[in-house]
Amino acid sequence: MQWPPRPKKGPPAAKALAPRVPRWLRSNQSRLTSYDGDVSTVLQAHREACDALLTRALERRRCEPELAAAIEYAVLAPGKRLRPALVRLANQCIGGELEEAEAPAAAVEMIHAFSLVHDDLPALDDDDLRRGRPTLHRHTDEATAILAGDAMPMLAMKLLAESPNGSAMCAVLAEATLRMIEGQMMDMAAERETLAADEHNLRSLQAGKTGALLVAAVQLGALSAKASAGQIKALNAWGSHLGELFQLTDDLLDTTASTETMGKRTGKDEGKSKLTGVRVYGLTGLQDRIQNCRQEALNALQSFGPEASDLRLLTEEMADRSR
């Protein structure tokens, strides 16, 4: 694949009038180097940076002690930190200053954590295990879990509102959160068998429930780097394909992987009339669709050169992941 060489940057423009990133948001490292090799190394570097930022963010706005403890339990739970990593990776791909991606990276993870807390409640999936440990409502109680889940989106929006370009970023994250909730409603409709189990509905459901927040993470990273409209369009397309790829591999692993491997209960979709990739495509067809999604995601990055190498690496890892 050929790509034109990136033009040399001129002297940096004056930033006297640009909004400043709050001091508490700034990491000690303005840029991360690009890694060649296993993508787990890339995600590990972003995960550690994001965990430190999340800790500082929660310390800055202290809630009532019991509520704060519940929020910390959910937000700082062990996990991939895929969504905040996407914010930072998109920022790097465009050539932005990484400190500008810190607030949106933390905000998108708070939204993700809130969605997991509410999704695990007895009224929805009624799960006891999340990320290898008891779900929040089992660790505390249902009322505390509901309130902690309610608080996390507010903390996320406050975090974005205090950052550069906060208004536009709040709009992106709010729309993605709404689409995620709409996807959850479609999931419930499928369980009640009021939604046809076809490919169109599957892709619509997954584009909302899983894909919307992944696309938003990529878009927030691009916005933090002041990407062009064309760059944002290409990255959004990649994020959309990556979201479908992530959910389809999740559907596959729910059938083929163990609870111990995944850190959450597997096999739970069987018997619930869940609209999943396994149900629509079958196991063999699902594996074929996963490989098609992988290629579609890689194709979306064709306008980028080596600056998107980590995004390509992440795509390959997503298609082959085992947990």
Of the pLDDT bands very low, low, confident and very high (cuts 50, 70, 90), residue 254 is confident
Give the percent of the chain with pLDDT over 70. Answer: 81
**Contact 251/283 with Cβ under 8 angstroms?**
no
Rounded distance between C-alpha atoms, residue 71 and residue 152, angstroms: 7
Rounded distance between C-alpha atoms, residue 36 and residue 45, angstroms: 13
1-13 pLDDT, tens digit per residue, is: 444 444 444 444 4
Q: Identify the pLDDT of residue 265.
A: 59
Reported CATH class of domain 36-320: mainly alpha
Rounded distance between C-alpha atoms, residue 314 and residue 323, angstroms: 14
Structure-derived torsion over alpha carbons of residues 295, 176, 219, 103, reported in degrees to the nearest 10: -130
Averaged pLDDT for residues 240-248 = 95
Domain positions in the chain:
36-320
34-59 pLDDT, tens digit per residue, is: 434 345 666 877 888 888 889 988 88
Averaged pLDDT for residues 275-299 = 95
> Please, what is the angle between helix 212-224 and helix 166-191, to 10°?
170
102-121 pLDDT, tens digit per residue, is: 999 999 999 999 999 999 99
